[in-house]
Amino acid sequence: MLKYLLHKAFLTIGVLLGVALCSFFLLRALPGDPAQALAGPQATQADVETVRHALRLDEPLHTQCFTYIGNLLKGDLGYSYRTRRPVTEEIASRWPNTLRLSLFSMAIAVSLGVPLGIFAARRHGTLLDPLSMAGAFLGVSMPSVWLGMLLILLFSVRLKWFPFYGMSTLSHYVLPGLTLGLSVAANIARLTRVSVLEVLGADYVRTARGKGAGELRVVYVHSLRNAAIPIVTIIGLQLGALLGGQVVTETLFSWPGIGRMIVDSLNARDYMVAQGGILILALTFTVINLLTDLLYTILDPRVRLG
């Protein structure tokens, strides 16, 4: 186990360095000048050059890159061009909001997707199976921005049940949580159906039924745990995607999360904040994948990590 964790740690460092380099050069390939954006439209060329020198943007690109990577290796993500606050503080003020929305959305997805997948597997060969999977396919195919706008029109504009901006109460979580959670629930439902169907035909399931075990015990005790590894895998991947893919939803619902922070930073050409946000999302996705691998050994003692 220790050898596996050390191996993963070295891989994570390599991945993060690659993400840092890619984000550094790709962001600077975008059109726009951070110095001009900070100086304002009425600034003279001398003012722009003064801002550029203060931000050290007049240095050669490779020098800026070496400086950034060197500071990164020391745990310094730099300072925001706009606010002059450390990037770590900018991220710390937004990251909990993204995490809470992700966990709320995943709770919706699991509570809907797993029962729907089990229901479809138990009704295999009947009309209910393709109907439930058709609903899941619709959920996968529906763009999140379109679904979010529909939810806003129905539940906020017409019915006035839930607010569509802010995050002060639990009701503020409902619409963005549904927007993110429904598509994830569809993916979980499809994989749960396939996994449970494979297990339901196993010998030990037939033995349990032959011994007189009830159907619910057969499905939820004997079958679901043995089908859990693929389900846990998709849940881990989807949680990582939620943490890194909320840009549209956070912007649509004015959610002050890290995805919206990255968009605002890109619009303002605040490279350091955007780079820090992308790097944190990559680190989060890597950590979630590691935790998912470790969970395999709990669900199935036969699994050995190496």
* Average pLDDT of the chain, as a whole number: 79
Question: CA 79 to CA 41: how far, in whole Å?
Answer: 23
| Residue 80 within a domain | no
| Residue 258 within a domain | yes
Structural domain that includes position 61: 2-73
Question: CA 250 to CA 125: how far, in whole Å?
Answer: 40
pLDDT number for residue 242: 79
- Taking the C-alpha atoms of 266, 270, 272 and 277 in order, what is their torsion angle to the nearest 10 degrees? -40
Contact of 224 with 202, CB cutoff 8 Å: no
User: Percentage of the chain with pLDDT > 70?
Assistant: 85
Whether 76 has a pLDDT exceeding 80, the answer reads: yes
Of 41, 73, 105, which marks where a domain is finished? 73
* Highest-confidence segment of 161-170, 174-183, 286-295: 174-183
User: How confident is the model over 157-170, as a mean pLDDT?
Assistant: 80
Q: Report, in angstroms and rounded to the nearest whole number, the Rg of the chain calculated over CA atoms.
A: 24
- 7-16, 150-159, 275-284: the lowest-pLDDT one: 7-16
Of 73, 105, 122, which marks where a domain is finished? 73
pLDDT number for residue 174: 87
| Residue 78 within a domain | no
Contact of 106 with 238, CB cutoff 8 Å: yes
Q: How far is CA 29 from CA 23, 64, 128, 182, in A?
A: 10, 14, 52, 36
- For residues 134 and 270, membership in a common domain is answered with yes
- For residues 264 and 134, membership in a common domain is answered with yes
- For residues 149 and 292, membership in a common domain is answered with yes
pLDDT number for residue 205: 65
The CA angle 228-115-290, to the nearest 5 degrees, is 35
CATH number at residue 208: 1.10.3720.10
**Phi and psi (nearest 5°) for 211?**
-80, 0
* DSSP assignment letter at 79: B
| Residue 27 within a domain | yes
Task: Give the model's confidence band at 210: pLDDT under 50 very low, under 70 low, under 90 confident, else very high.
Answer: low
- For residues 46 and 191, membership in a common domain is answered with no
| Residue 247 within a domain | yes
